Each structure stands twice: as structure tokens, then as C-alpha cells.
Amino acid sequence: MSGDVTVKRTVADGIAQLTLCHPPVNILTRAVLREVRSHLAALRADHSLRVLLLRADGKHFSAGADVGEHLPPVFAEMIPEFTATIRDLWDFPLPVIAAVRGRCLGGGFELVQPADAIVAGVGAQFGQPEICLGVFPPAACAVLPLLLGPAQASRIVLSGDPLTAEEARAIGLVAQVVEDDQVDTAALALAGRWARHSAAALRVTKRALRAATDRPVAEALHATERIYVDDLMATHDAVEGLGAFLEKRQPAWVHQ
């Protein structure tokens, strides 16, 4: 594998695996997001495929997006690219399973929210800390209310506090919690059980499961993207919070 490959794709027995492979924390840069979308486009055309498994090398799934790419002027291109990646995962025509160890934060957490099932290690952490930087997670604001209801979504997004794997399972976000060293094995076993079925039946069933939410998610992603780009990034505190994070200092809020 060449040094510049950050997302690896393998296919065997009807199961595709997309692996984030730039540990230690698998930061989601624009280049990584482009790779993810490119792989998803190629996999959509494989009619022998039955399940997609999203996983990561190393101890952590992903600590999130590259904060530097959220600052002016790059954010105006970064945010639409990010929401496009989430939209492509949400619209993927076959079941998606995410295998999560360690930190799954910010954009990393948003990346697994379109999955049909999340298998998590007992030591995994899920969270949206963006509010601590003076910004918000655009994809989570669109997807989490549908997955969890408004109260739980607000708790996660407005507090910025992480959830343990067991807390995530208790609210219905995680399907299965296993020992950290068993995450990949358990996720692949679940993928194998789903992959026993007809690819044609899985595609139609996935479409049926998405029928009630596809349009609301598409519209919500577009709305949160525009609020982020047009309104949030026009505030002083958004730029201050992101800059303070990069400079490793406390932000000085002016509340406007």
C-alpha cells in the first residue's frame, strides 16, 4: 500500500470493507473524504456486493475532521464535501455496518451515524465536541434527531460530552458492545450473517427501510450545511473557537 493511501478497500464473499488507515486517530481530511466517496461510488456498481463494513486501523476509529480545514476560507469547500460524504453513506444501497474502537468523535462520529448497525468496543467513546469550539456538527444535527429523537440529539450536540459504548447502546445508537480486541471479528461475523441473503433482496429492503427518512435527511443535510457556511462562520466566536483549538489555548468568547 502506498504511503498516500488513507482509505483501503477490500471485497470478499459479498462483503466490502472500507478501512481508515492513517492512525493514530484517523483524522478526516478533505483528501480522506474524497477517497471515501470514490470508493463508495465504485462499490455501488458491484451487484454481487451484499454488505459494507466501515472500520479503522489502530486503537481509535477517528478523532474527527481536520480542524484547520474548518477555518476561513477552506470551510466553504470543506463543509459541503463533508455533508456529501455523509449523504453518500446514508444513500448507500446496501446494509452498512460500522466497527468502532476507541475515540469516535466529531466528524468520525458523524461518519458512522448513517450505518445500519454499529458494533463498538467496550472502551469506545462517541461524542460531538464541536460546541466546545464554538461550532456545530452539521451532519449530526440532521441525522441524530431522526435516529434518537430530539431530546437525546440535543443532549449529545449541545453538551459536547462523550458517551460510553454502553450509554450509546442503551439509547439505541449502538447495536452490540464487545471487548475492544473483538470488534473487527464481531462486526465481520454480523456482516457475514447479513451477507447470507440475496443482494437484490437486501437492496430493495434497504430502500424500504429508508423510505420514511430519505427525503428529510437530504433536506436537513442541505439546511444544516447552509446554516454552517452562511450563518455560523459569519460569527466571531466560530473562528475564535477553531483558532484557539489549533493554538492550544482557551477561546475568548465575545458571544457574537
| pLDDT score recorded for residue 2 | 41
Nearest to 165 by CA among 179, 152, 151: 179
| pLDDT score recorded for residue 97 | 98
On whether residue 220 sits in a domain, the answer given is no
On whether residue 134 sits in a domain, the answer given is yes
pLDDT in tens, the chain (256 residues): 345 679 999 999 999 999 999 999 999 999 999 999 999 999 999 989 999 999 999 999 999 999 999 999 999 999 999 999 999 999 999 999 999 999 999 999 999 999 999 999 999 999 999 999 999 999 999 999 999 999 999 999 999 999 999 999 999 999 999 999 999 999 999 999 999 999 999 999 999 999 988 888 999 999 999 999 999 999 999 999 999 999 999 999 999 9
| pLDDT score recorded for residue 102 | 98
On whether residue 246 sits in a domain, the answer given is no
Query: What span, in angstroms and rounded, lies between the C-alpha atoms of 154 and 191?
Result: 31
DSSP string across 163-203: EEHHHHHHTTS-SEEE-GGGHHHHHHHHHHHHTTS-HHHHH
Helix (H, G, I), strand (E, B) or coil at 73: coil
Question: What is the separation of C-alpha 95 from the centre of its chain, rounded to a whole number of angstroms?
Answer: 15
Asked if residue 93 has a cis previous peptide bond (ω within 30° of 0), the answer is: no
Residue 132: DSSP 8-state: G
User: End-to-end CA distance of the chain, in Å?
Assistant: 47
Strands 15-20, 7-12: parallel, antiparallel or unpaired by DSSP?
Answer: antiparallel
Query: What span, in angstroms and rounded, lies between the C-alpha atoms of 135 and 61?
Result: 22
Query: What span, in angstroms and rounded, lies between the C-alpha atoms of 255 and 44?
Result: 45
Report residue 178: phi and psi, to 5°: -135, 175
CATH number for the domain including 86?
3.90.226.10
Strands 163-164, 125-127: parallel, antiparallel or unpaired by DSSP?
Answer: antiparallel
Report CA Rg, the chain: 18
Domain range for 123: 7-199
On whether residue 34 sits in a domain, the answer given is yes
Query: What span, in angstroms and rounded, lies between the C-alpha atoms of 195 and 87?
Result: 23
Query: What span, in angstroms and rounded, lies between the C-alpha atoms of 74 and 27?
Result: 16
Number of domains in the chain: 1
| pLDDT score recorded for residue 215 | 86
Report residue 23: phi and psi, to 5°: -65, 165
On whether residue 211 sits in a domain, the answer given is no
Query: How many residues are there in the chain?
Result: 256
pTM, rounded to two decimals: 0.94
On whether residue 240 sits in a domain, the answer given is no
On whether residue 248 sits in a domain, the answer given is no
Nearest to 165 by CA among 152, 183, 146, 192: 183
On whether residue 46 sits in a domain, the answer given is yes
